[in-house]
């Protein structure tokens, strides 16, 4: 349910950071790499260029509590991965590319929720640091930034700061540089699990019409629904009683939230219970209502549940969820009339602890970061049935936890 009243876990509200804000401009094309900020340092050398004419793209791989971002080349025809190696210095566990420019933004474990900017060499894959922006939070030992996402119409980088229990809206300039946060939404709350001593924002997703930002908070057992103004990049509570929120069962640990492309439903994955919920989305009021609950836990499992990632196919016909406790991936078919889910497959992830995964833009491939087995594994996707097939292609990467495709590789 959504509460519109002040709860015992009273939300502190939203902190406006900038006194004067220019109107946000959409990210535009036509920029060259020379228009990006001048690099400060070279972070890696010696990467091998892709063969000319090959159907290869760059893949960037974050590492859990590591010190380097790794790269690989992905053959979109065969599904083969070729390792490039470490290409940028950062303890990054999530990254996202600029939609138009050769720039990669990386979420780090640095105290203060620091986001790095890197210039991408599209030929070699090498990353050169161009800047850093802090988003707040210190001393909670929560692990820095958990997620980055770009709202292209407002040229905003949305930052889920797990350590600080907050979400920051960071302006992206026409040249791709990052400014100080335009606004910060501070979550408040806790849960019964020892890991839920305070709020831990784990994911942020902008609603289809751009008027709301949904924040799944692992520590507060809430999905907070903040209002979002694309013109000013301001996140706001929308009322004196704090932001609206959808409350999960105590001890759930909401981790990932994703909208269906049809805009009427959202899906929520909770880490501590491995529960997958289908929620009705009311775009007029910002209200979420539970419609369905499914479990990733198999019958007979007696261990501690631990779900990881959630991805909806671009055509909206299938959904994929990761289960770290059982080293499995589960595929669901989406009912085209109701958006409700039906399980169609459970398959071994090809390694140990599938921490994160991404679907390639053509919808034919799913790459899995298996953190505890130090491997990135490639699965083929049958676009008619949604079923996954382990291709046998994999590379070794130390403690991988996220996969980012960069499509401008020649």
**What gap in Å lies between CA 380 and CA 48, rounded to an integer?**
26
Confidence category of residue 408, pLDDT binned at 50, 70, 90: low
Q: Is pLDDT at 32 greater than 70 in this prediction?
A: no
Report pLDDT digits (tens) over 224-259: 999 999 999 999 997 777 789 999 999 999 999 999
330-338 — which CB contacts under 8 Å span 24+ positions? 330/296, 331/386, 331/387, 331/388, 332/276, 332/294, 332/386, 333/386, 334/260
DSSP string for 176-228: S-B-S-SEEEEP----SSGGGSS--EEEEEE-TTSSEEEEEETTTTEEEEEEE
- pLDDT score at 295: 98
- pLDDT score at 22: 45
Sheet holding 114-120, edge to edge: 92-97, 103-108, 114-120, 127-134
Number of H-type helices and E-type strands within the chain? 0, 31
Confidence category of residue 407, pLDDT binned at 50, 70, 90: confident
Choose among 297, 285, 345, 363: nearest CA to 324. 297
- Chain position carrying tokens 């210039």: 119
Q: What value does the mean pLDDT take over residues 55-66? A: 94
- pLDDT score at 239: 73
- pLDDT score at 108: 94
- pLDDT score at 30: 41
Domains of the chain: 2-18+37-44+53-306+399-406 (2.130.10.10)
Report pLDDT digits (tens) over 279-322: 999 999 999 999 999 999 999 999 999 999 999 999 999 999 99
If one compares 189 and 28, the residue with the highest pLDDT of the two is 189
- pLDDT score at 44: 38
Rg of the chain, C-alpha, whole Å:
20
Residues paired with 203 in a beta bridge: 216
Q: What value does the mean pLDDT take over residues 63-88? A: 97
pTM of the full structure: 0.88
If one compares 371 and 16, the residue with the highest pLDDT of the two is 371
Mean pLDDT of the chain: 88
Is 291 within 8 Å of 344 (Cβ atoms)? no
Q: What value does the mean pLDDT take over residues 53-65? A: 87
Confidence category of residue 9, pLDDT binned at 50, 70, 90: very low
Is 115 within 8 Å of 133 (Cβ atoms)? yes
Report pLDDT digits (tens) over 114-171: 999 999 999 999 999 999 999 986 544 445 899 999 999 999 999 999 989 999 999 9
Choose among 195, 202, 237: nearest CA to 93. 202
Enter the tokens of residue 92.
């990054």
Sheet holding 13-16, edge to edge: 13-16, 183-186, 166-171, 156-161, 145-151
Report pLDDT digits (tens) over 261-287: 999 999 999 999 999 999 999 999 999
């Amino acid at each position: 349910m959504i509460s519109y009243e002040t709860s015992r876990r009273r939300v502190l509200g939203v902190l406006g950071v900038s006194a004067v804000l220019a109107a946000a401009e959409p990210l535009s094309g036509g920029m060259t790499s020379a228009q990006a900020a001048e690099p400060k340092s070279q972070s890696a050398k010696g990467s091998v260029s892709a063969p000319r004419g090959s159907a290869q793209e760059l893949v960037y791989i974050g590492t859990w509590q590591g010190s380097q971002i790794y790269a690989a080349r992905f053959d979109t025809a065969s599904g083969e991965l070729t390792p490039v190696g470490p290409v940028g210095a950062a303890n990054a566990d999530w990254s996202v590319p600029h939609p138009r420019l050769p720039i990669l933004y990386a979420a780090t474990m640095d105290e203060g929720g620091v986001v790095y900017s890197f210039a991408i060499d599209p030929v070699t894959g090498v990353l050169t640091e161009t800047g850093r922006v802090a988003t707040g939070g210190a001393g909670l030992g929560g692990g820095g930034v958990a997620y980055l996402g770009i709202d292209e119409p407002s040229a905003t980088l949305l930052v889920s700061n797990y350590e600080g229990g907050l979400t920051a809206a960071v302006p992206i300039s026409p040249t791709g540089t990052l400014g100080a946060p335009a606004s910060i939404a501070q979550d408040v709350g806790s849960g019964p699990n020892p890991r839920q001593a305070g709020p831990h924002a784990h994911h942020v997703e902008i609603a289809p019409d751009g008027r709301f930002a949904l924040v799944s908070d692992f520590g507060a057992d809430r999905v907070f629904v903040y209002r979002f103004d694309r013109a000013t990049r301001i996140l706001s509570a929308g009322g004196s009683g704090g932001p609206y929120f959808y409350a999960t069962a105590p001890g759930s640990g909401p981790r990932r939230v994703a909208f269906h492309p049809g805009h009427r439903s959202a899906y929520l994955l909770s880490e501590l219970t491995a529960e997958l919920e289908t929620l009705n989305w009311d775009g007029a009021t910002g209200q979420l209502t539970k419609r369905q609950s499914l479990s990733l836990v198999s019958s007979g499992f007696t261990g501690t549940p631990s779900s990881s990632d959630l991805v909806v196919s671009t055509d909206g016909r299938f959904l994929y969820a990761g289960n770290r406790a059982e080293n499995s991936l589960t595929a669901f078919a989406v009912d085209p009339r109701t958006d409700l889910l039906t399980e169609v497959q459970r398959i071994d992830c090809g390694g140990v602890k599938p921490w994160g995964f991404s679907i390639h833009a053509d919808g034919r491939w799913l790459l899995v970061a298996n953190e505890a087995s130090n491997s990135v594994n490639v699965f083929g996707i049958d676009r008619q049935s949604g079923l996954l097939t382990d291709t046998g292609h994999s590379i070794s990467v130390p403690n991988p936890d996220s996969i980012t495709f960069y499509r401008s590789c020649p």
